[in-house]
Amino acid sequence: MSRYLTQSLPPEHYARELLAQLRINTIPTPVELICTNLGIVLNYNSGLSCESLIAQKNGKTAIIINDRETYGHRKRFSIGHELGHYSIPSHLQDTYQCSLNDLNHYTPDKIAESEADQFSPELLMPSNHFLPDVKKHELSLSTIIDLSNKYDTSLISTAIRFIKATEDLGAIVLSQNKCIKWTFHSPLFLGVIRDRGQLHISSTALITLNMVSTYPAYPDVCQVMCGQIILMELVF
Ligand SMILES: [Zn+2]
């Protein structure tokens, strides 16, 4: 059975289709301009009970982004996520209210959220730009930081996008409150990474977390490179 809802094409296809339709080929992807060009009203609201939402009624569409304690990269990802609900044909609800923690949508009722989460990275880091960048650069923390700056995306989403595309051997481990939350590895990486539980006491991510509260330029991430494995501690 298809892991997608009803459309036969992957969510990334609709992101590429949207960019082509609007003739947008600039980096960073101008997500606010996309909303304007589509006639979508984009608002920011600090009183929103969720991270973001999209509402469609009588042919009009509004996207509202939570403005409270939310910084630029996350806003851009959220706009991309909502544009996914707008663009993917099988997303037929009038309203989608979306929350954080968007990396683990495995249950059927969350498939639409997972699809919107796949749409957004392709919109923000389009394959025609990002894949050549992956080929040009080795997996390293400085590469991830450089690409994060180029595409105006978070370190985490950039790292995940890179690790899925690279032909290098590597992995990233994301932890929160000293517990491993997610692991991602490159297609050729054959090592085994424990995907849950406490970080090992000697983990460089744990050590870094204890020594430095946050990585200065990125308030959500405390990270360190360890061989070919990037360890990131999320700090909320
Ligand atoms: Zn959503």
Strand partners, 233: 175, 222
**Average pLDDT over the chain, rounded to whole?**
78
pTM of the model: 0.79
Portions of the chain given CATH number 1.10.10.2910: 11-124
C-alpha 161 to ligand 1 mean position (Å): 19
Q: pLDDT digits over 43-58, tens only?
A: 998 888 888 999 999 9
Of the CA atoms within 13 Å of residue 33, those in its CB half-sphere come to 13
Q: How far apart are CA 63 and CA 76, in angstroms?
A: 12
C-alpha 70 to ligand 1 mean position (Å): 16
pLDDT at site 233: 55
Residue with tokens 């020594």: 211
C-alpha 52 to ligand 1 mean position (Å): 8
Q: Which of 231, 230, 221 is nearest to 74 (CA)?
A: 221
C-alpha 208 to ligand 1 mean position (Å): 33
Q: Which amino acid is at 106?
A: Y
For 73, other C-beta atoms within 10 Å of its C-beta total 20
Q: Is 30 exposed, middle or buried (0-12, 13-18, 19+ CB in 10 A)?
A: middle
Structure tokens that stand for 55 in this block: 């509402």
pLDDT at site 231: 59
pLDDT at site 6: 53
C-alpha 180 to ligand 1 mean position (Å): 24
C-alpha 102 to ligand 1 mean position (Å): 8
C-alpha 201 to ligand 1 mean position (Å): 36
Q: pLDDT digits over 130-180, tens only?
A: 999 999 998 877 888 899 999 999 888 898 899 889 888 777 777 666 666
C-alpha 63 to ligand 1 mean position (Å): 11
Q: Under 8 Å CB-to-CB from 113, ≥6 apart: which residues?
A: 96, 98, 102, 105
CATH architecture, range 11-124: Orthogonal Bundle (1.10)
The residue-averaged pLDDT of 7-36 equals 95
Residues at Cβ < 5 Å from ligand 1 ion: 96, 98, 113, 116
Q: How far apart are CA 31 and CA 43, in angstroms?
A: 13
